[in-house]
Amino acid sequence: MRGRRNSQFVISVRLKLVALVLGSVLPAVVGAVLSERASERELLQQVERRVDGANRRFEAAIEENQKNSRLALSFAAQSPWFQKALEGGDQERVARFVNQLASVYKYRIIVAADHTGRILAAGNAERGPASLDRTASEAFGDLLEGKPLEGLIGVQLKDGLTYSLVAATPIFNEEKKQVGALALLSPMTARYLEYLEKTLNADLALSVNDRLVAATAGHTAPELRSDSETSHIIEQGKKLYAVKTFHPEDLQREGLHVELTASRDVTELHATAQANLRKHLLILGGFTLVVLAIALRFAARLAQSVKGITTAAAQVKTGNYMTAPLLKTGDELELLTSHFNDMVEGLKERDRLKETFGRYVTRQVADHLMKGHQDLGGELVPVTVLFSDIRSFTSISERMDPRALLDFLNEYFAGMVESVLSHQGVVDKFIGDAIMAVFGAPVPEPEDPLRAVKAALEMRARLERINEGFRARGLPEIKTGIGLHSGQVVAGNMGHSERMEYTVIGDPVNLASRLEGMTKELGCDVLLSEDLYVLVKDEVEAEPLKKIRVKGRDQEVMVYRLVGLREKQNAAE
């Protein structure tokens, strides 16, 4: 029977070894997937370089366009000849001036109008506006009121509303009276984008307020866009496109949301990457077969080491942490046994940690204990104590089902505890619906008082959001009071050696609880003691409310209502 068991054991080890080696196919597949993703990243990097370049070149082209337009406008605004022609309504002289500009700026519509917006002359204006007043664009109303105009504007041209890159200036005579206006318009049409495509090295589509305005021929569909300013690979039909959408800052205006999408066809590049992936999979498959053949030769040798490990594992199962005999084979078998023994030592350490951590609930306290502070007793440390309690909780609990009440409280506690922990505080205990938190134990730091105040402010903000959710679900709102005080307490392990609790005791704890109880009386939600306020007054805004008598002190002390952080602290946050 024993020989049969050994035979079965050896066969089992061999089968497991085969399964293990076959399992190496999984890393191969993962590697193939990673390789494909690397190829996709390479595609994205290539289009990113092109598109980022397109972004910069597009903005440079727009700036160059506007710079040239501003130059023409400056020349016109300083020309007495042109001013007089506009003032006198001399259409012939105005047309002569406009035609000169049109011969230089062939891709812009150039319009000159009198002070009422009536057009006196236009160049390159086969589809120009009928006037330069509010009927063509609301923005032209500002132009006629003496305000220069520049940017992307919706203009009513002869063939309909078209978004155009506009640069316009009012024209004044020598007496500073407006006699007219001059505007240069570059309609953002497919023709204009085709012109830019040659220099931007990408297909383009322009959208305004989520409506496609113009696109080059290579941009096949309006939905070809990315949801954020990062590149994406998008499949459309049998084609793949690398796409990036961005928001040119120079084109944004109030009421206009402008997007420019650049795209490139990467179908061939992706096909090449797929071919490389298939080749990679074939190589990995062949390598796996070779490794499998070699591994089978070592199955018998592996059985001896695994048998030693299984014997030791049987002892570990009963709680006897026994290590396996370490055979000096000089190969992976020795390493396997060594790792098993390391695992046994780890189990010993795990059980010790489990026994230690079973008494404690917070990371800070656990770290303190792991440094050897596990005996009963305490030490005097400076801390800031925070007490929080729900007002009128009894009336809330009487109106709710016990299970619903538990969920209700857990949702509230989750937000409040997260506020404490996010500012390195320790939740000392829950007392019914009250929370006691400590900042500074077991390891005090100078920032503890300010952290406690910030935690209280975050609890206030989180409670507002929690109440919004409660209201939406028809649940009662929670109102809380929070009291904070800084002082010296005794912090340490208290209880019995078999069951102890890390906590703090002292008058500061009682005073923080007392301040929490005074919040309803004083009509506020967060109260600070004078001792705490002195420590944080440079960073915190608070209002003095009332002096109270404190045990152990001859003089009454002031309590403060917490308003918030000072501006410099808000900026730092």
419 and 551 assigned to the same domain:
yes
Pick from 424, 426, 512, 419: nearest CA to 463: 419
**Residue 466: its pLDDT value, please?**
95
Other beta carbons less than 10 A from residue 293's beta carbon: 10
Domain of residue 338, residue span: 301-357
> Are residues 562 and 488 part of one domain?
yes
CATH code where residue 246 lies: 3.40.1840
> Alpha-carbon distance 480 to 392, whole Å?
9
The DSSP code for 250 is: G
**Distance in angstroms (rounded) separating the CA atoms of residues 30 and 73:** 62
In a domain, 58, yes or no: no
CB 494 within 8 A of CB 406: no
Q: Is 229 exposed, middle or buried (0-12, 13-18, 19+ CB in 10 A)?
A: exposed
Q: Which residues have C-beta within 8 Å of that of residue 524, sequence separation ≥ 6?
A: 545, 561, 562
Please give the pLDDT value at position 314.
80
56 domain-assigned: no
Residue 317 and residue 377 share a domain: no
CB 466 within 8 A of CB 478: yes
Query: What single string gives the DSSP state of each residue in 251-314?
Result: G-BTTB-EEEEEEEE-HHHHHHHHHHHHHHHHHHHHHHHHHHHHHHHTHHHHHHHHHHHHHHHH
Question: What pTM did the predictor assign?
Answer: 0.42
Tell me the C-alpha distance between 474 and 164, whole Å.
Answer: 51
d(CA 455, CA 438): 11
Residues 324 and 414 in one domain: no
Residue found under tokens 């109260």: 527
Q: Looking at the structure, do residues 177 and 197 belong to the same domain, yes or no?
A: no
DSSP state of 323: P
Angle made by CA atoms 511, 464, 438, in degrees to the nearest 5: 30
Reading the chain (573 residues) residue by residue, the pLDDT tens digits are 444 444 444 455 566 666 766 666 666 666 666 766 676 667 666 666 666 667 777 778 888 888 888 888 888 888 899 889 888 888 899 889 988 888 888 878 899 989 888 998 888 877 778 888 888 888 888 888 889 988 888 888 877 888 888 899 999 998 899 999 998 888 887 777 777 766 667 778 777 877 777 777 777 656 677 776 666 677 777 777 777 777 777 777 777 777 777 777 777 777 776 777 677 677 766 766 776 666 666 666 666 666 777 787 787 777 677 787 876 666 666 777 777 777 777 666 655 654 444 434 455 555 555 554 444 456 889 999 999 999 988 888 888 888 989 999 999 999 999 999 999 999 988 998 899 999 998 888 999 999 999 999 999 999 999 999 999 999 999 999 999 999 999 887 776 666 667 788 888 999 999 999 999 989 999 999 999 999 999 999 999 998 988 766 777 889 999 999 987 656 555
Asked whether residue 422 falls in the same domain as residue 503, the answer is: yes
242 found inside a domain: yes
Model pLDDT, residue 206: 79
pLDDT at 504: 87
Q: What pLDDT, on the 0 to 100 scale, is given for residue 368?
A: 56
Contact 388, 457 (CB under 8 A): no
Contacts of 149 (CB under 8 A, 6+ apart): 139, 140, 142, 143, 166, 167, 168, 169, 183
> Given this model, what pLDDT does residue 240 score?
75
Asked if residue 551 and residue 497 are part of one domain, the reply reads yes
What total of structural domains would you count in the chain?
4
Check residue 265 and give its pLDDT.
72
Residues 113 and 166 in one domain: yes
